[in-house]
Chains A and B, each alone.
Chain A
C-alpha cells in the first residue's frame, strides 16, 4: 500500500524558513516523479514544485527562488526547503506521488500545515 507521510510543518515568522519532509513507502520511490501541492485555507489546490526521477526540478512562479525541492532515493524521502516565507505561504502542504515520470498526482499524503505569522 502506498503511504506518504508529510512532516515539518508549523508556525514560523515572516522571513523565516522551514523544511518539509515526505516519507514514502509501498512503491519504488526512485522511479516516480513527486510533487508538492498546497492549499491555502478555504482555497483551491496549487501545485508548487515537482521533481522527476532523474532529479529535474520544477517550480511555480510563486515560489521560484525561495523554495527548493529535493529527494533522497536511498531513504524514499522527498523534501521541500522553504525560505523567505510570507503570510501568503500559509497553507496545508501535500506531498503527491506521480504516475511513474508523469505529473499526474495519483496518490496524496494527508498534508502538513504551515502557518506564517508574527
Chain B
C-alpha cells in the first residue's frame, strides 16, 4: 500500500496569514493527489484533485502543487471559515490512502 505522510499534524495561524501543508507519498503517484477540508461535525469536502485542479466553487486562495511523491497545499489570506482539518489522499491505486490530517487552528 502507498503510505501518505502529511505535515505538520497541526499548526496555528492568524486571520490573514498564508499557510502551507505538505504531503509525501511512499512511492510515486504521478499527480493522483487530492486535498480535502473537514470542519468539525461535517463531512469532508473536496478542494483539489489531480494535485492542482480546484474543484468547482473552491476559492482561488487554495492552491496545490507537486507531482511524483511531494505535494503541497497552500492557503492564502486565512479567514475564519478556513480553520479546519485538511487531508491529502492518493488515488492512483487501490487502496486509496489518506494522510493523517493537518489541523489548522487559530
Using CB atoms and an 8 Å cutoff, list the residues of chain A in contact with chain B.
35, 37, 44-47, 50, 58-60, 94, 99, 102-111
Contacts and interface: CB of A to CB of B under 8 A. Distances in A.
Contact of A106 (B55, B98, B101): B55
| Pairs A-B, 3 closest by C-beta atoms | A103-B91, A103-B96, A58-B94
Contacts of A104: 32, 34, 46, 49, 89, 91, 96
Interface of B: 32, 34, 36, 38, 43-46, 49, 55, 87, 89, 91-101
Main secondary structure on B side of the interface with A? loop
A24 to B, nearest CB: 14
B95 A47 contact: yes
Chain A binding surface, main DSSP class: strand
A102 B98 CA distance: 15
A103 to B, nearest CB: 4
B9 to A, nearest CB: 10
